[in-house]
C-alpha cells in the first residue's frame, strides 16, 4: 500500500502559502508507515514546533490500473473519506529554502490520518474540519483545480495504482497550526468520520 498525495489543488490554498497555482498536478508520496493505525494516539512530533493540519478528501483504490484515461479512472475507486495530511511547516520551510525534498516534513511516521471509509459514488462532495469545535476548513470538489478523474489519470501515467492504495486529493484554504490538547474532527457531507486528539 502506498499513500499518494496531491499538493496545491485548491487555488485559495496555494495563494495562502504564497505558492503559484500549478499548471499540472503536484504529486508527492508518503510511505505506508506514515499512516496512523486505527485507534492509535497521535503524538506531536518532537522535531517540529509548527505542526499544521491539512484536511483533504481521500480516495481508496479498489482495483489496480495504470495509464488510465480520465473516463475510466473513477471505476478504480471504491471508497472515499476525509483525512489529514500533517505537515511540519518549519521543517518544510527549511528544506524548501535549501531546495531539498520535503519527506521529513510530510512523510514521517503517523503523518497521515484517514477517517471512516464511505462508499464511492458519482457527483460532487463537500467536506470540512473543526478544531476544538470550530470550523477551520471546508472544501468542495467543484473548487478543485484538478478533478478526481484527471488526478487519477495523471498519477497512473507514472505510478501503477494498486488495490488498497490511497490518494489524498489536496487541501482547501484554512490550514493552520495545532498543539497538544487540540481536538480535530473531520466531516464528510456533514457526517463525522474521525475525531483526533493531539497528544504531547
At residue 11, the pLDDT reads 78
Domain of residue 148 covers 3-199
At residue 14, the pLDDT reads 55
At residue 55, the pLDDT reads 98
CA gap 130, 184 in Å, rounded: 6
CA gap 188, 184 in Å, rounded: 14
Based on the structure, what is the number of domains in the chain?
1
At residue 29, the pLDDT reads 96
Contact call for residues 59 and 73 (beta carbons, < 8 A): no
CATH number at residue 111: 3.90.850.10
At residue 150, the pLDDT reads 97
CA gap 152, 157 in Å, rounded: 9
CA gap 156, 135 in Å, rounded: 34
pTM for this entry = 0.95
Per-residue pLDDT of the chain (200 residues; tens, 9 = 90+): 999 999 989 976 656 666 677 789 999 999 999 999 999 999 999 999 999 999 999 999 999 999 999 999 999 999 999 999 999 999 999 999 999 999 999 999 999 999 999 999 999 999 999 999 999 999 999 999 999 999 999 999 999 999 999 999 999 999 999 999 999 999 999 999 999 999 99
Amino acid at each position: 500500500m502506498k499513500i499518494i498525495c496531491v499538493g496545491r489543488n485548491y487555488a485559495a490554498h496555494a495563494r495562502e502559502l504564497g505558492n503559484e497555482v500549478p499548471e499540472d498536478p503536484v504529486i508527492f508520496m508518503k510511505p505506508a508507515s506514515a499512516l496512523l493505525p486505527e485507534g492509535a494516539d497521535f503524538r506531536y512530533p518532537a522535531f517540529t514546533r509548527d505542526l499544521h493540519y491539512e484536511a483533504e478528501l481521500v480516495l481508496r483504490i479498489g482495483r489496480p490500473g495504470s495509464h488510465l484515461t480520465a473516463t475510466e479512472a473513477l471505476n478504480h475507486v471504491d471508497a472515499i473519506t476525509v483525512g489529514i495530511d500533517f505537515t511540519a511547516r518549519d521543517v518544510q520551510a527549511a528544506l524548501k529554502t535549501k531546495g531539498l525534498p520535503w519527506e521529513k516534513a510530510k512523510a514521517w511516521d503517523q503523518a497521515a490520518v484517514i477517517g471512516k471509509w464511505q462508499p464511492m459514488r458519482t457527483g460532487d462532495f463537500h467536506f470540512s474540519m473543526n478544531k476544538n469545535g470550530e470550523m477551520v476548513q471546508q472544501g468542495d470538489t467543484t473548487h478543485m483545480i484538478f478533478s478526481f478523474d484527471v488526478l487519477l489519470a495523471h498519477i497512473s501515467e507514472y505510478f501503477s495504482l494498486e488495490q488498497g492504495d490511497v490518494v489524498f486529493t489536496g487541501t482547501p484554504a484554512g490550514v493552520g497550526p495545532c498543539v497538544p490538547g487540540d481536538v480535530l474532527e473531520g466531516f464528510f457531507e456533514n457526517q463525522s468520520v474521525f475525531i483526533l486528539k493531539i497528544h504531547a
